[in-house]
Amino acid sequence: MSAPAVITERPAEGVGLIRINRPEARNALNMEVRRLIGQHLTAMADDDSVRCIVLTGNDKAFAAGADIKEMAGAGSIEMLQRGTQKLWRIIYGCPKPVIAAVSGFALGGGCELAMTCDIILAGESAKFGQPEVKIGIIPGGGGTQRFPRTVGKYKAMRYVLTGDIFGAKEAFDMNLISEIVPDTEVEKRAIAMAAQIAELPPIAIQQAKESIIRGADASLETGLTLETRTLQMLFASQDQKEGMAAFIEKRKPKFVGK
């Protein structure tokens, strides 16, 4: 019996880890992998014991792209009926913070998968890119939309139109990734950061994430209004009372998510 294409772990308190497990295909994203990631993310989003999620692959590849063999002979209607976009929405719509721990290749759909996450940590030798034009298509999971919104039109054009691959330093310099980590420390660092976030008040964390995401697509004035209303709403939470009381009393707070 073959190993599951996606496996889950609980590496630290409050932390759920989702691992793409197709080493024989450099973790290429076939439909099974996409569905399983969506299922596990949905389950963790509904699990109060999980407060932050790490998405990773192995030391050779985060995900080297979509599974070309699976899509090479497909027609337009078949591609439409696969519903890939619904699966992408599950990932970027997760209410809890998701950290991408990227080692090795994150190309095409793999790069887009990382971009659906909230924080991207990458090893020093990680490789990114949107090489879809080299096989006659274009990025279809956010590469022509999230990528330019993140790095700017001209950087995105340079890489989408050439299909060139770029390294972690270039990715960091153009604000595509959050942090560069030694290759052997990527997963460890991601779990430690997830555990740090998991100790914080979960309602405030989720609302901070939503304010950033919703505000990015709104005018500054609308975004500021959303931020203010969210801040005011959080004063109804037990965690706000606990956090401020602990600060005043000079003790460590205990947040319960209420």
Instruction: Point out the catalytic residue in the list 132, 156, 171, 243.
Output: 132
For the cut 70, the answer to whether the pLDDT of residue 182 exceeds it is yes
Rounded to the nearest integer, the mean pLDDT of the chain is: 93
Query: Quick one: pLDDT at residue 1?
Result: 62
For the cut 90, the answer to whether the pLDDT of residue 122 exceeds it is yes
Annotation says 190 is catalytic: no
Query: Quick one: pLDDT at residue 137?
Result: 87
Instruction: Label residue 162 by pLDDT band (50, 70, 90).
Output: very high
Instruction: Point out the catalytic residue in the list 109, 129, 143, 243.
Output: 109
Mean pLDDT over 44-55 rounds to: 96
Mean pLDDT over 138-147 rounds to: 92
Instruction: Point out the catalytic residue in the list 112, 126, 141, 204.
Output: 112
For the cut 80, the answer to whether the pLDDT of residue 69 exceeds it is no
Highest-pLDDT range among 78-87, 88-97, 199-208: 199-208
Annotation says 215 is catalytic: no
Instruction: Label residue 124 by pLDDT band (50, 70, 90).
Output: very high
Mean pLDDT over 131-150 rounds to: 92
Instruction: Label residue 78 by pLDDT band (50, 70, 90).
Output: confident
The percentage of the chain sitting over the pLDDT mark of 90, rounded to a whole number, equals: 81
For the cut 70, the answer to whether the pLDDT of residue 138 exceeds it is yes
Instruction: Label residue 76 by pLDDT band (50, 70, 90).
Output: confident
Query: Quick one: pLDDT at residue 257?
Result: 87
Mean pLDDT over 127-139 rounds to: 93
Domain 6-198 fold? 2-enoyl-CoA Hydratase; Chain A, domain 1 (3.90.226)
For the cut 70, the answer to whether the pLDDT of residue 145 exceeds it is yes
- 98-102 and 119-123: which strand pairing? parallel
Same fold, 6-198 and 202-249: no
Mean pLDDT over 190-213 rounds to: 95
Annotation says 124 is catalytic: no
Q: Under 8 Å CB-to-CB from 221, ≥6 apart: which residues?
A: none
- 105-107 and 98-102: which strand pairing? unpaired
Q: Which amino acid is at 258?
A: K
- Domain spans of the chain, in order of start: 6-198, 202-249
Query: Quick one: pLDDT at residue 109?
Result: 93
Q: What does the pLDDT look like over 211-233, one tens digit per residue?
A: 999 998 899 999 999 999 999 99
- Nearest-Å Rg of the Cα atoms of the chain is 19
The three state secondary structure string of the chain is CCCCCEEEEEEECCEEEEEECCHHHCCCECHHHHHHHHHHHHHHHCCCCCCEEEEECCCCEEECCECHHHHCCCCHHHHHHHCHHHHHHHHHCCCCCEEEEECCEEECHHHHHHHCCCEEEEECCCEEECCHHHHCCCCCCCCCCHHHHHHCHHHHHHHHHHCCEEEHHHHHHCCCCCEEECHHHHHHHHHHHHHHHHCCCHHHHHHHHHHHHHHHCCCHHHHHHHHHHHHHHHCCCHHHHHHHHHHHHCCCCCCCCC
Instruction: Point out the catalytic residue in the list 66, 100, 101, 156.
Output: 66
For the cut 90, the answer to whether the pLDDT of residue 38 exceeds it is yes
Q: Which amino acid is at 119?
A: I
Domain 202-249 fold? Lyase 2-enoyl-coa Hydratase; Chain  A, domain 2 (1.10.12)
Query: Quick one: pLDDT at residue 114?
Result: 97
Rounded-to-integer distance, Cα 30 and Cα 110, Å: 11
Rounded-to-integer distance, Cα 141 and Cα 55, Å: 17
For the cut 80, the answer to whether the pLDDT of residue 82 exceeds it is no
- For the chain, report the end-to-end CA distance as a whole number of angstroms: 43
Query: Quick one: pLDDT at residue 70?
Result: 67
The residue whose two tokens read 């095409």 is: 108
